[in-house]
């Protein structure tokens, strides 16, 4: 695949670090974004220490990272999502924006998918970013597995949804960096309404089987 410059917004968290690690390992140029330049630099250095010479990963504040990348991955909690996305609207204009955000709640009975105004986090991002092409992907990859070692997660599939065919195809190709093969086309962006809360099922399985479960699609 052609190498891309990819910003991971909220890249200091486990999911952002894990995806940044995998993208950089595959030869993409990665910008780890944070609200703090200091935290961004620390996270980028931590990941760089695990990468071969020649890999490119740098820490920047979220706005600089978003403004410098072709593809921006939103890896922030759902709480605070709208404000952050809105604040980056200018930097994200004209870009492909990938949401792996899972709006989940937890109570005594365990995890559950939150009811989201607008359908899903990915659709909210699309509504807030009219000049960006928003794609949903990477919702079901465990950060623990992403960071465990550098072997492709080839037992798992990346389900990708979006309304812009070109953007969706590019993100399906990008999934190769993580699972060793292209992502699975899961349909239009509104499928994020199903993909995001499905993560609650995985977390529930994880608790019962003491594992980090993923998704694999058969019959393709
Ligand atoms: N963890 C997983 O295994 C996993 C798997 C699949 C999908 N996801 C999804 O990926 C996203 C990130 O997950 P995570 O576990 O890495 O989350 P996290 O550690 O809670 O947050 C990631 C980063 O987001 C920034 N952040 C936190 N609160 C924020 C706010 N109110 N406004 C703006 N930025 C904020 C922080 O970076 P700075 O303080 O440096 O700005 C933080 O390090 C979530 O939406 C989650 O549902 C996670």
Position in ligand 1 atom list of the atom nearest CA 83: 32
Q: Is 198 in the pocket of ligand 1 (CB under 6 A)?
A: no
Q: Structural domain boundaries of the chain? A: 5-209
Q: Is 139 in the pocket of ligand 1 (CB under 6 A)?
A: yes
3-state secondary structure the chain: CCCCEEEEECCCCHHHHHHHHHHHHCCCEEEEEECCHHHHHHHHHHHHCCCCCCCEEEEEEHHHHHHHCCEEEECCCCCCHHHHHHHCHHHHCCCEEEECCCCEEEECCEEEECCCCCCCHHHHHHHHCCCCEEEECCCCCCHHHHHHCCCCCCCCCCEEEECCHHHHHHHHHHCHHHHCCCCEEEECHHHHHHHHHHHHHHHHHHHHHCCCCCCCCCCC
Q: Is 86 in the pocket of ligand 1 (CB under 6 A)?
A: no
**Mean pLDDT by 10-residue block, N- to C-terminus, for the chain (220 residues)?**
94 98 98 98 98 96 98 97 98 98 98 98 98 98 97 97 98 98 98 98 98 97
For the entire predicted model, the pTM comes to 0.98
CATH 3.40.50.720 at 5-209, yes or no: yes
Q: 121 C-alpha to center of ligand 1: Å?
A: 13
Q: Best mutation site among 7, 11, 12, 15 for ligand 1, i.e. most ligand atoms within 8 A of its Cβ? A: 15
């Amino acid at each position: 695949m052609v190498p891309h410059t990819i910003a991971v917004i909220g890249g200091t968290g486990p999911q952002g670090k894990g995806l940044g690690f995998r993208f950089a390992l595959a030869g993409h140029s990665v910008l780890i974004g944070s609200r703090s330049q200091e935290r961004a630099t620390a996270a980028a250095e931590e990941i760089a220490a695990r990468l071969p010479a020649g890999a490119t990963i740098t820490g920047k504040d979220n706005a600089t990272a978003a403004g410098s990348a072709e593809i921006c991955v939103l890896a922030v909690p759902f709480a605070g999502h709208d404000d952050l996305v809105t604040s980056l609207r200018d930097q994200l204009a004209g870009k492909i924006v990938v949401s792996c955000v899972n709006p989940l709640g937890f109570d005594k009975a365990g995890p559950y998918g939150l009811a989201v105004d607008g359908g899903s986090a990915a659709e909210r991002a699309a509504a807030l970013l009219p000049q960006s092409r928003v794609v949903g992907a990477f919702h079901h990859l465990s950060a623990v597995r992403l960071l465990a070692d550098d072997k492709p997660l080839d037992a798992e599939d990346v389900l990708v949804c979006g309304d812009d065919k070109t953007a969706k195809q590019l993100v399906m190709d990008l999934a190769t960096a993580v699972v060793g093969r292209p992502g699975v086309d899961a349909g239009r962006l509104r499928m994020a309404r199903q993909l995001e809360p499905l993560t609650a099922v995985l977390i529930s399985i994880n608790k019962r089987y003491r594992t980090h479960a993923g998704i694999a699609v058969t019959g393709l």
